[in-house]
Homo-oligomer: A and B are copies of this chain.
Amino acid sequence: MSQAFPFQAVFNTGTYVANPVMLAVDAMGGDRAPAMVIEGLDLALAHRPNVRLLLFGRAVELAGLLKRYRRVSAVAEVRDTQDVIGGGERPSSALRSGQNSSMRRAIDSVAAGEADGVVSAGNTGALMAMAKFVLRTLPGVGRPAIASAFPTLRGQSVILDLGANVDCGADNLVQFAVMGEVFARKVLGIEKPSVGLLNVGQEELKGNDAVKKAAAILQGSALSIRFHGFVEGDDIAAGTVDVVVTDGFTGNVALKTAEGTARLLTHFLKQALLSSPRARIAGWLAAPALRRMANRTDPRQHDGAMFLGLNGVCVKSHGGTDAVGFASACGVAIELIADGVNEEIKRDFAYLRGGTGHPPERATG
State the A residues within 8 Å of B (CB): 2, 4, 6-7, 90, 151-153, 163, 166-167, 198, 200, 205-209, 232-238, 246, 248-250, 252-269, 271-273, 275-276, 278-279, 281-286, 288-290, 292-293, 296-297
Contacts and interface: CB of A to CB of B under 8 A. Distances in A.
State how many copies of this chain the complex holds: 2
- Find the residue from A281, A286, A290 having the highest chain B CB count within 10 A: A286
Q: For the complex of A and B, list the 4 residue pairs with the smallest distance between their C-beta atoms, beginning with the closest.
A: A233-B256, A234-B260, A282-B286, A282-B285
B279 A90 contact: no
Contacts of A235: 260
A92 to B, nearest CB: 9
Given A166-B207, A279-B289, A289-B272, A233 B262 contact: no
Nearest to A263: B237
A275 B255 CA distance: 28
Given A279-B286, A282-B284, 20 more contacts: A7-B261, A153-B267, A163-B200, A208-B249, A232-B256, A233-B254, A234-B260, A237-B260, A253-B254, A254-B254, A257-B258, A258-B260, A262-B265, A265-B265, A272-B293, A275-B292, A282-B282, A282-B283, A282-B289, A286-B286
A283 B235 CA distance: 28
A263 B152 CA distance: 10
Name A's interface SS: helix
A205 B125 CA distance: 11
16 contacts: A90-B205, A153-B263, A163-B200, A166-B207, A232-B253, A233-B257, A238-B263, A257-B257, A257-B261, A258-B260, A265-B265, A268-B296, A273-B286, A281-B285, A282-B283, A282-B286
Contacts of A290: 272
- Find the residue from A7, A252, A260, A297 having the highest chain B CB count within 10 A: A260
A333 to B, nearest CB: 24
Given A207-B249, A293-B272, A234 B254 contact: no
A236 B233 CA distance: 15
Contacts of A2: 232, 234
Nearest to A266: B265
A160 to B, nearest CB: 14
A364 B296 CA distance: 46
